[in-house]
Amino acid sequence: MWQFCTFTLRKVCRGVLFGAAITVAIITLSTIKDSDGFKRISESSVMVLKQEDTKILVQELDGRKVFQIEGLPTGKIKEYKKHFQPSTLPAKVKAKQAKKVAETYRKRKKVLLKSCGRSKYHRWAPGMQLIAVPDKELTVCVVQKAGSSSWHRIVYDLREPSGTWNGLGHQLNRKHGQKLPDHEKEKLMKSKSGLRVITVRHPFARLISGWNNKMHKNHLLDSTKILTTLKGIEEYIHRSKPDQDHIIAFKDFAQYLVDKGLKGVDIHFQPIERLCQPCRFPYDYVTKAETSQQNLWWLLDRVGAVMPTFTKHAATGSGENATDIAKDPWQLDKRVMTAFFKKLPFETVVKLKELYRLDFERFGYTFDLNTMTAGDIID
């Protein structure tokens, strides 16, 4: 399936793949930036993977893989989106619903504590996705593909009320959280009036969403960075032909995770257990992406925050479209999960569920292996 060749600086490499000549590739290795800066490399190998509308160059430089994706069309790319606005309820309606919503959050915390057992050791560990607004006593563990961008916007607006939200907001929030003095972190963890929030989503819905977004041809910069960190992924690209929008089929990506495990994968695919350490931090509130429209207002009102619109993406190849997204987001997620997971080998699904087992248990999510369907959200 692949053509290997070796070349020196500025040497032309040719090969034949699938019975057709590969376009000549000329690569100046001296312009490739290594982790320590610009570094001249005298020799390397290149693997060329090709389908009708995609060419992927996989270069091995000093023992690591570097991916370059070329020749992608723009006319065929589709990525369905829908913008949602959280509920804006009148004060009288909120007053009637407040008790019910508070009970929902209480039940979620109870499920989490029961799963964690007697663990009482609390810490603000490096690597946790914690961002904070000390003045509001608000701490949030943001989970990628579970409303993280919306939460970053909320936290940034609370920290910098006169600032302007832009693409740097995520990075600024993370740096702020990491650099908080220990006494501030301790106060946020122990405050009886504080809001300590963890954001979650069904593990399989989050996995599909991560693949759809990060392996989509609309996001090649992200894709190439992520591929470079996935050791051995080049052996899985084009095992089966991807749909026209993605650089690797979901089936092959899922099999890679099962074969290689989740250690070292990009944060979009890491379990929430690892990103937020839910049994090692005193979270009081579990917010579920599936029901944010209905009950997130209760938390936001407590800190005087306003939820911006958030975007729902639908994975192409699932049979859904923009009209479908406008319906109940959770019902859409359920249909998408069934459509994708029914196409996977049964044993692969079993192993994926085991990889994300603690995320299922901690947050009350289910998935029926017989019907390949997710259970309803029951709070």
Spell out the domain ranges in the chain. 1-71, 81-205+268-374
pLDDT at 38: 31
Residues 53, 74: Cα–Cα separation, whole Å: 10
pLDDT at 217: 84
The pLDDT mean for the chain works out to 80
Helix ranges (H only) for 117-266 are 148-159, 169-178, 182-190, 203-214, 220-229, 250-260
Joined together, the tokens standing for residue 372 give 């390949």
Q: Give CA separation, 55 vs 4, 243, 319, 353, in Å.
A: 14, 14, 26, 33
Closest CA to 127 of 273, 282, 257, 284: 273
Residues 14, 142: Cα–Cα separation, whole Å: 46
Are residues 278 and 116 in contact, defined by beta-carbon separation less than 8 angstroms? yes
Residues 277, 271: Cα–Cα separation, whole Å: 10
- Host H or E run for residue 374: strand 373-374
Q: What is the pLDDT of residues 334-379, one digit of tens each?
A: 999 999 999 999 999 999 999 999 999 999 999 999 999 999 887 7
Q: Based on the number of CB atoms within 10 Å of its own CB, is 155 exposed (0-12), middle (13-18) or buried (19 or more)?
A: buried
Closest CA to 209 of 147, 255, 163: 147
- Among 21-35, 122-136, 151-165, 222-236, the range scoring the smallest mean pLDDT is 21-35
Report which residue type is found at 205: A
pLDDT at 6: 30
Q: What is the pLDDT of residues 200-212, one digit of tens each?
A: 999 999 999 999 9
Q: What is the pLDDT of residues 32-85, one digit of tens each?
A: 333 333 333 334 456 666 665 667 777 776 666 777 776 554 445 556 666 666
pLDDT at 184: 95
